[in-house]
Structure 1
């Protein structure tokens, strides 16, 4: 057991089960429980404690309905949900820090998922931090101001939680061997977009120096669309869409109501864009905390001083299809309705048909969705950052299991067990297609080393976009794949089509 002194009290950690040279400290509160008087408010400082706090277990997860393999579930009544975990290599020299923000469509997930065990990454000389933050309505719902002189409820409370965690890292991570001048924020999916938002937020300035974005999702809300979602959720919960009405609904009631609203879109084929991926929450752009969405902010140079490493997978949307969380499109008539709902021109669909000759309609639909929401969006973030004078390294994960078109594709989330070096974990075998082989282990080692190198120096091992030799790096188990043209999917988007037309 080792003890560490933080500004709010002393905590104890234990050697990691997989590497005795790494100490893991779990469930450290970085902010007060966001309920009671703190509900719908910006995060408050944690309450100090006396003695040594035993940090052997992960903290409670944020309110949600998800039950993820190998991860804890939320229990109504759990309130101390704003906690973080640290994997610290044993040693004396200050080491780079990587702060991980989990994904989950802003409504599910936690830092306790087996994907995000930081032991292997820490073994490469990085202090790894993972954190929980408010999700769903608690974290991203737009709350009307209270009547009278009450304090207004800020938008983007989940992002404000992440900033509070980064401030905790700034103030305390040196005690765990971390270098406060080399902090990298990393995330995947909604966690990646969260990190991209942080790069655009004034409140986060100076708290980190580099950003890793895997499969950033194009899913910001406007103040108007967020207010409409609030009205829908309040109606589903049976309460007025007012501060007092929403406050009267329990966290469980708002989770259930949010699920009903999302399910309604999923079942209604005439409900437009949300029918295909009913993610009803996202960061609200155009408000004081987040004046610009990440893509616009990057294009205007808002993150120019930060080094970026951007990655996406080649078949993102196939995972959502495999788990039944997106609408089915199986014939030309359904594909035409989908294209009309997103205002996609025939030329785009024709371009994808040319890229995938003879592919069934369903594959065309999944390819377009995956690139519209993840692949092309991530690539445009990289382009915008580079064109504004920033340094960005772009990569694409293409590894499949079982050969072309077999059981597991290079789909959403499949890259993360490789980057964290957790491919052996049986809970993750669904994502990667079973137990890893030697080539998979070598791929995981390369990806983990790249993350560690980027956190340490800003150079993952290949040239940045816009420089001599700069190109999209390819992650695969076969070295010859690096010579393929994996960026052909971008050709149909070259006309500058909007990714999500209103």
Structure 2
């Protein structure tokens, strides 16, 4: 079953719609500020702008050649050098994706030419910890320049924050058949290789922005968490990061190559391009390729789509850059020394249930029937365990909780278990604070922790609410992420001691207005549904 992307694709519009009404936020004011000093990167000189008087921001920095024309679907290529001073004051293009989403700034642009990153730093001197953010949106949408992801607060707290745009959907993850030759042998993972290229840019350049290339933490949420998971299984990414955080997006496996190649072949047939005709493929109109995705997916609908990330244009195993699923059957040995934070939110499924009219009439019998479909061998025990774990939830809430657990919690637990068998420490969390907005329907839903981690809750008040609660949540989560980036331990004076996760006690930080640690939260349920 395609537990991640089938549901994520369907719920994606609902998730970004929940971030609507952002246009009223002061975050959209275009005040570029004074220019910074000139920074000499390996490719050429540039300058950024001061933001809010104390943070230096460098936006829209190219880290690879534009992946267009003859470079379409190929691994990222080196960036040509320049001599003139680049004014890095605006975000670069987002990847080609679905029509504009409600959380996108009014001036966000989309293009195949999308290999850009952004840097926020407190100053250009010293060796500060670096955090590289990978945005969510499954593998089909999203952008690094969204207001929730702005890096000023990380910079104020002594971290150099980097955020990355890369190729998405068909442009990032179409695996062409072997007949296309070696240049396209890894086309099904080109979007992930973009991220590797961005990490190589960080290694080569971040010291010029006051960052330490030997202290890099990769982190991401939802699809971004899956990207972090995949990087942990990619040999070309070795040595480019030193710590990792996976928020609501654990990925154990990837799309099988056979399915991915069949899908790629189906798309070229839809486009009328003959096998191996590189010139013809390079000449096809961008929008035509994007609009042809679903026809290709439908053409291979009966094929075995394999693991967690299957179904459509998602990263696939190429046997080289991604030799196998990153955590299937276990963690790769070369990440044995990489500390990890992994976690989910209490009510992951609510974001994807918005607008589902069928849930309105759900009864206890409806819930029991849904459990029997999902867990036929022990339905009664599973249903009882869900009711015990979520007291007071309606039948509709319980169905949503079951779906959310299957999408995110189960594989997060599995990934943590497999990583704990290595020497480096693992920390597990769950975020329980429920939003007051939208009539409380989201509860502690998918993506609701993001502005707490970034300290950007003031940018999206219509989503997270106003008053002291968002700031209180951020005062607990944000410092823990900063401490992890700085010293490899998520310790913060606003939190109780956060023990490492192990298979004996399974101690987990429960983030809320009053955070605490629980041993094996929802343990009875875990024993039934986490195989």
TM-score interval (norm. to shorter): 0.7 to 0.9
TM superposition shift of 1:227: 3.2
Aligned twin of 2:490: 460
TM superposition shift of 1:263: 9.7
Aligned twin of 2:26: none
Aligned twin of 1:170: 203
Query: Residue 378 of structure 1 is aligned with which of 403, 412, 417?
Result: 412
1:254 partnered with 2:286 = no
Aligned twin of 1:398: 432
**Alpha-carbon distance between aligned partners in 1 of 2:209 and 2:235, rounded to the nearest angstrom:** 27
> What does residue range 313-462 of structure 1 map to in structure 2 within 5 Å?
313-322=345-354, 330=362, 336=369, 340=373, 345-346=378-379, 347-356=381-390, 359-402=393-436, 406-426=440-460, 429-430=462-463, 432=464, 434=465, 436-461=466-491, 462=498
| Residue 38 to residue 345, structure 1, CA distance change in 2 (3 Å) | farther
TM superposition shift of 1:239: 3.4
Name structure 2 gaps, 5 residues minimum: 1-34, 492-497
Q: Deviations over 1:234-273 (max 9, x none)?
A: 56x45368454765543322322335677999xx9x9999
**Does the 8 Å contact 1:59/1:83 carry over to 2?**
yes
- CA RMSD, aligned part only? 3.6
**Alpha-carbon distance between aligned partners in 2 of 1:88 and 1:298, rounded to the nearest angstrom:** 36
| Residue 484 to residue 90, structure 1, CA distance change in 2 (3 Å) | same
Aligned twin of 2:511: 475
TM superposition shift of 1:72: 5.7
Aligned twin of 1:28: 61
**Does the 8 Å contact 2:386/2:525 carry over to 1?**
yes
1:59 partnered with 2:59 = no
Q: Deviations over 1:78-100 (max 9, x none)?
A: 34310100001126321000000
| Residue 343 to residue 260, structure 1, CA distance change in 2 (3 Å) | farther
TM superposition shift of 1:158: 0.8
> What does residue range 126-137 of structure 1 map to in structure 2 within 5 Å?
126-137=159-170
Deviates more, 1:401-410 or 1:55-64: 401-410
Q: Secondary structure at the match of 1:84?
A: strand
Aligned twin of 1:12: 47
> What does residue range 139-154 of structure 1 map to in structure 2 within 5 Å?
139-147=172-180, 152-154=185-187
Q: Secondary structure at the match of 1:37?
A: helix
The number of residues matched between the two structures is: 483
Deviates more, 1:86-95 or 1:174-183: 86-95
TM superposition shift of 1:323: 6.0
**Does the 8 Å contact 1:262/1:278 carry over to 2?**
no
| Residue 264 to residue 471, structure 1, CA distance change in 2 (3 Å) | farther
TM superposition shift of 1:190: 1.1
**Alpha-carbon distance between aligned partners in 2 of 1:148 and 1:387, rounded to the nearest angstrom:** 39
Aligned twin of 2:228: 195
> What does residue range 18-97 of structure 1 map to in structure 2 within 5 Å?
19-68=52-101, 69-71=103-105, 78-90=111-123, 92-97=125-130
| Residue 364 to residue 84, structure 1, CA distance change in 2 (3 Å) | same
**Does the 8 Å contact 1:395/1:475 carry over to 2?**
yes
TM superposition shift of 1:313: 0.6
TM superposition shift of 1:61: 1.0
**Does the 8 Å contact 2:368/2:383 carry over to 1?**
no
**Does the 8 Å contact 2:507/2:519 carry over to 1?**
no
Aligned twin of 2:527: 494
**Alpha-carbon distance between aligned partners in 2 of 1:349 and 1:227, rounded to the nearest angstrom:** 40
Q: Deviations over 1:184-213 (max 9, x none)?
A: 111111111111111111101100100011
| Residue 260 to residue 104, structure 1, CA distance change in 2 (3 Å) | farther
**Alpha-carbon distance between aligned partners in 2 of 1:328 and 1:155, rounded to the nearest angstrom:** 40
TM superposition shift of 1:140: 1.2
TM superposition shift of 1:314: 0.7
**Does the 8 Å contact 1:217/1:373 carry over to 2?**
no
Query: Taking structure 1 as the reference length, what is the TM-score of the superposition?
Result: 0.85
Aligned twin of 2:135: 102
| Residue 255 to residue 154, structure 1, CA distance change in 2 (3 Å) | closer
1:294 partnered with 2:297 = no
Query: Residue 304 of structure 1 is aligned with which of 325, 336, 360?
Result: 336
**Alpha-carbon distance between aligned partners in 2 of 1:464 and 1:344, rounded to the nearest angstrom:** 33
**Does the 8 Å contact 1:170/1:207 carry over to 2?**
yes
**Alpha-carbon distance between aligned partners in 2 of 1:262 and 1:388, rounded to the nearest angstrom:** 38
Deviates more, 1:376-385 or 1:20-29: 376-385
1:115 partnered with 2:148 = yes
**Alpha-carbon distance between aligned partners in 2 of 1:446 and 1:284, rounded to the nearest angstrom:** 37
Q: Deviations over 1:62-112 (max 9, x none)?
A: 111142223367767x34310100001126321000000111110000111
Deviates more, 1:127-136 or 1:152-161: 152-161
